[in-house]
Amino acid sequence: MSERSLLLALVSLAVATSPIHANLITVNTTVDEFGDSPSSGCSLREAVHAANTDAAFGGCAAGHDADLILIGAGTYALTRLPSLPDDGSSGDLHVTDEVEMVGAATIDAGQIDRIFDIAKTAGTVTLQGLTLRNGDPDGLPDSGGAILTHESVGLVLDSVTIENNRAGGGGGIALFPALAGDPPTAVPTFDFEDVTLNDNEAFQTGGAVHWSTRGSGAVWECLRCSIETNQAAAGGGIVALVTPLELATLRFEDSHLLDNTSSNANRGGISIPPTGSAAVHLTNTEMHGNQGVGATKDGFYSESPIATLFVTGGAISDTLYFVDGGAAVVSGATFANGSFGAIYSLRNTMVELDGVRFEDNTSQPALYLGEGSSATVQGSVFVGNLKGGVQCDDCNLIVSRSAFVDNLRSGDGGAGVRVLGVAAEASFRNVTFSGNRTLSSNGGGLALEEGADFLLNNVTVTANQASSAGGLYVGPGAAAPEMSNTILAGNTQTGGAASDCGGSILSIGHNLIGNADSCSITPTAGDQTGTAAQPLAAGLAPLTTVNGQPVHGLLLGSAALDHGDNGSCQTIDQTGQPRPLDGGGGLVCDIGAREEPNPSEPALFTDGFESGDTTAWN
């Protein structure tokens, strides 16, 4: 006996002997009978009818209240073609009373009909250990290839596989509301654990699941679920359609949403239509390969102005796309190799990021914020993105304790961050821009092309490159950024000449600018500036990672060491290190994103000699 079969047997025994179950009905034939004479035994169809009616039927014992149907191992083919009356005697299995079905069994509908039609009178229906396949209600409008529930029904699935089913909506499962004018009698709860939905198809919406609810407070929990290779016209994986102002909650934990496809819309994974008001939680969940029209990889697509997505941990290579409104709250997740960026807000979306990593995303900026959107970015890293780190179009952007490293942009400026729009506002505190490059425009690290209000405090901008203004570019349509305690040094323009900034800057003091020739800036108290002829070196250590944050520390003798302003410095640095520390010049904060706790000696050699690598001398 396999480990899974043994576990199911033990669970079945425990449930069967539990006092909350009034009756055990044991299925002992795989033949699809319904009161046939002679009888082969107790069939699955007869067992369901006995549980519904609380009466003996066919070869099955009578049910009573909440029943347990124990299904032996094997394949149970539904062979009775649908006919009137539609009462479960043929076609799909009608469940009208609370029941639990347990067994390491496969139920195969052979595409004659769906498998289970669960009425709203059923209370809570539990399925455990089953495989449901080849359900097909045989009609474009019909929904729920394997399971159709009506609102007020609770559905519990444990170790269930739902595969190769199809329907008009909800190729695998349709969780549907009551009819108009017939309000739900209870708030439904759907509890899925170790559930697989794969290779299901919907001709309209929801390849795996179409979830539609009118009851406020409905909850769908999915623990260790795998939703893979399903397809639909819209919402290849899941469509959640929730009546406005009646918030429902969908939670995925330790789950996988992979390779689901949508044939005529950008809704490959999870789709929230304009009327949806769901709160969707993805915790330690993997999402990739979900594909909409034109090969767009969208794992989450929301048209709702009030839907909210919460992402905690997990690895995502698809785009989270918001059309108008809604919110994304993301912490501890990694977005890598997305083909349309990572998070895309067309307009009016609120985004909160904490401890998020964006790496090697393409085609669009890793984070795009359209008109009216806002974002708070904290403790996050943008590295190696091929269309830039962040683009803010008439948005409000707040960035703190974060890094933009080795991002690339061709054709536009701002490989690290690009800001556009006359109403745009952006602030940067304890932020490092390093190694970012734009090939044919201005501002390799940061381009403030337009906007109304900007601030930089304790920022390090170094080793970036652009056609001009390699570090920071401020366009003629942008307000001069207020800048303090900031390093702009070691940046270059195409060809290698020093080029740290361009445009107007309003110094609040204590900045270090390596070459200020191309900037319009009036030095203020504590400012240190160099020129093209005599650039000022910042004395920065090579990029290293501290507490998950890429930073440039300060070397002994650095002009940034202990030269900040204690009155305006941030109280902690980019890595969480408290400020100020005494770097040898007194208890004064450092300029830049890093408060250096242990200034090191500058390297005397760059050829490997100091490390003992004498091969570099050969």
Over residues 241-246, the mean pLDDT reads: 57
Spatial separation of the C-alpha atoms in residues 353 and 341, rounded to whole Å: 15
* Residue-level pLDDT at 601: 76
Mean pLDDT of 193-200: 98
Q: Is the pLDDT score of 273 beyond 80?
A: yes
- What lies within 8 Å, CB to CB, of 239 at 6+ separation is 169, 205, 206, 209, 210, 211, 232, 267, 270, 271, 272, 273
pLDDT at 440: 86
pLDDT of residue 274: 85
10 — pLDDT class (breaks 50, 70, 90): very low
Question: What band does 70 get if pLDDT is binned at 50, 70 and 90?
Answer: very high
- ω into 38 cis (within 30 of 0): yes
Closest-CA residue to 307 (of 289, 297, 320): 320
CA distance 523 to 536: 14
Q: For the residues 398-404, what does the mean pLDDT come to?
A: 98
To which residue do tokens 């040094």 refer? 489
Of 55, 47, 99, nearest to 71 by C-alpha is 47
What was the pLDDT predicted at 613?
46
CB 71 within 8 Å of CB 48: no
Q: What is the mean pLDDT of residues 112-131?
A: 95
| Mean local confidence (pLDDT), 449-456 | 97
Q: What digits encode the pLDDT tens for the residues 333-344? A: 999 999 889 999
Alpha helices in 31-128 (DSSP H): 44-53
pLDDT at 297: 66
- Whether the pLDDT of residue 11 is over 50: the answer is no
Q: How confident is the model at residue 569 (pLDDT cuts 50, 70, 90)?
A: very high
Amino acid at position 555, single letter: L
Residue 5: its pLDDT value, please? 43
Cα 336 to Cα 361: distance, rounded to the nearest angstrom = 6
Q: In angstroms, how far is CA 478 from the centroid of its own chain?
A: 33
Average pLDDT of span 538-560: 97
Element (DSSP H or E) covering residue 142: none
Is residue 451 over pLDDT 70? yes
Query: If you average pLDDT over residues 51-64, what whole number do you get?
Result: 95
Output the average pLDDT for the chain. 90
Are 134 and 164 spatial neighbours (Cβ–Cβ below 8 Å)? Answer: yes
What is the per-residue pLDDT for 603? 65
Task: Report pLDDT for 19.
Answer: 41
In the predicted structure, residue 410 carries a pLDDT above the cut 70: yes
Q: In which band, very low, low, confident or very high, does the pLDDT at 13 lie, cut at 50, 70 and 90?
A: very low
Q: How confident is the model at residue 14 (pLDDT cuts 50, 70, 90)?
A: very low
Residue matched to tokens 């045989």: 138
> pLDDT of 343-382, one tens digit each?
999 999 999 999 999 999 999 999 999 999 999 999 999 9
| Burial degree of 359 (CB within 10 A; 0-12, 13-18, 19+) | buried
Token pair for residue 303? 């048209």
Residue 215 has pLDDT above 80, yes or no: no
Q: What is the pLDDT of residue 616?
A: 39
Number of other residues whose CB lies within 10 A of the CB of residue 244: 12
Q: Determine whether 318 is exposed, middle or buried from the number of CB atoms within 10 Å of its CB (0-12, 13-18, 19+).
A: buried
Could you count the other beta carbons within 10 Å of the beta carbon of residue 92? 25
Full-model pTM: 0.91
| Mean pLDDT value of segment 417-443 | 96
* 505 bridge partner residues: none
CA separation (Å) from 45 to 38, 54, 107, 150, 160? 16, 14, 11, 20, 19
With beta carbons less than 8 A apart as the criterion, state whether 587 and 581 touch.
yes
pLDDT band of residue 612 (cuts 50, 70, 90) is: very low
Rounded mean pLDDT, 391-409: 98
Torsion angle of alpha carbons 169, 175, 180, 185, nearest 10°? 170
Query: Binning pLDDT at 50, 70 and 90, where does residue 512 land?
Result: very high
Query: Band of the pLDDT at 298, cuts 50, 70, 90?
Result: confident
